[in-house]
Structure 1
């Protein structure tokens, strides 16, 4: 892994969880790191600076990037981590407004940041954009349809974008973790159009998910992969840390019927 030498990084959603761990690790290997949050409350003793950012606002995104360029003069690494989780719910239990809200943060927020940062990376002829996806971006989970869809969008966007930017010295990667025990999972968005028909099964699925999260890896596992990707001499498009690596192998090589049965068995679903 290459050691950073006055390289500048932006990490969105850095107030806790994966974002905070990533910002901390990047600072330790020499990056000048700007973490972001909607309501930053100082750096809390962390080795990086926190700035305000709402990824759903064009004006906020543009202001953040201008401020980083004013202070640092360049951007070498963008980690698009900002996003929120969704409590297990049937696809039809979320209104179109809620579906748009999920995509506005988890996907379009990433697009806004990329559009604001990419011109600076192109101008300097170098840079790396690392998008935080999810195992659900390649292995959809029942009762997480909209979240899975937003992470599929992240994966597809990342792969296409890497093709577009590599001739200009800029590379793109997507990191797709599985269950990670973080505060991100403590405040999941509930469906805004709940239906009694799904109540019992969704409660069972949510209970199972929370059981798995208790024993899941912490955010440091993902942060270490991100730092590895940022400093790698040989580019890699996709990273699947921890359990996600095994799940990716299953997705690639296991028969569809076996994988389907395994998903339902793990979530205690009938049929």
Structure 2
């Protein structure tokens, strides 16, 4: 997909990878609708863009279906069309086991990560089908194909995103709408802070931050996937390594991950 003059909707556009996607798309000549629950974050993205008039800001909770449905009209009113969506917004859970996590936390993770992605896809798909060329990109996670201890619900939500996107690819394979699923490993973002998770968990993440993929690099890889119309892309050395190891020796891979977490 050629991105110049295309209108792209990016969720999670107020921070991290989402923000980098917005800025990189603008640099490629695209028009962008940045979506986020955090208005201050969106304002910062706008400032970093140089107050680019090709950028519109939309404060929306993607876990609310009606708000997402209304977003379609907001974006088309501002930009005149929509050519693609990138569902990047997501939250994680505290690093605790299934028997310890409460239902409010479970529902929040599922509502944002899976249902938010589903609502965006359902709302924008009829508009995208009318375009001569369009694209849907959904961001899953390494945790969506590989079990990470203490992140079972997050992993389940991202596994749902992965499978739904792969099925969507099959459904739209003969249409003008391309579909990509992105499977990243660790990225140096504020996802724990944005997920309202602090304390020990945030400190653990900070120790290994130098080993993680940068948001800018992740954004560039995701955009290259869209430009090449790839079905699936693993990004980050850890995601690629675990993908291979898990295929051939799943028990060893699970033990290795648990040991790595214990060493943090």
Assess if the C-alpha contact under 8 Å between 2:193 and 2:202 holds in 1. Answer: no
2:99 to 92, 104, 108: 92
Question: Do 2:20 and 2:219's aligned partners in 1 also have CA atoms closer than 8 Å?
Answer: yes
Report what 1:129 is aligned to: 136
**1:189 Cα offset (Å):** 4.2
Do residues 257 (structure 1) and 251 (structure 2) align? yes
Q: How does 1:62-81 map to 2 (within 5 A)?
A: 62-81=69-88
Distance 1:168 1:242 in 2: 30
> Aligned to 1:246, which of 241, 244, 252?
241
Tell me which residue corresponds to 1:10: 9
Residue ranges of structure 1 left out of the alignment (5+ in a row): 192-201
Cα deviation, 1:149-204, whole Å, max 9, x if unaligned, reads 1111110010001111222211211111111111223344459xxxxxxxxxx96x
CA contact (8 A) 1:85 1:189 kept: no
CA RMSD of aligned residues (A): 2.2
Max Rg structure: 1
SS at match of 1:55: coil
Consecutive unaligned residues in structure 2, runs of 5 or more: none
Map 1:16-55 onto structure 2 (within 5 A).
16-41=15-40, 42=43, 43-46=46-49, 47=52, 48-55=55-62
What is the deviation of 1:257? 3.0
- SS of 2:217's equivalent in the other structure is helix
Cα shift readout 1:34-81 (whole Å, capped 9, x = no counterpart): 111124243123143322211011221122111111222221110001
Could you report, residue by residue, the CA deviation over 1:193-248 in whole angstroms, capped at 9, with x for unpaired residues? Answer: xxxxxxxxx96x7754442234312111210111101211xx32211112222222
Cα 1:52–1:190 change in 2 (3 A) is closer
2:94–2:151 contact (8 Å) kept in structure 1: yes
1:217 counterpart residue number: 213
| Distance in 2 (alpha carbons) for counterparts of 1:51 and 1:177 | 25
Q: In 2, distance between residues paired with 1:175 and 1:18?
A: 12
TM-score by length of 1: 0.86
* SS of corresponding position for 1:268: helix
Per-residue CA deviation, residues 81-122 of structure 1 (Å, 9 max, x unaligned), is: 112122211111222232111101110001000011000111
CA contact (8 A) 2:92 2:195 kept: yes
Moved more, 206-215 or 118-127: 206-215
Residue equivalent to 1:154: 161
Ranked by relative contact order (alpha carbons within 8 Å, sequence separation 6 or more), the top structure is: 1
CA distance in 2 between counterparts of 1:160 and 1:238 reads 12
TM-score (structure 2 length as normaliser): 0.88
- 8 Å CA contact 1:173–1:237 kept in 2: the answer is yes
For 2:82, what is the secondary structure of its paired residue? coil
What is the distance in 1 between the residues matched to 2:206 and 2:152? 18
Stretches (4+) displaced over 6 A? none
Q: 1:40 to 1:189 in 2, by over 3 A?
A: closer
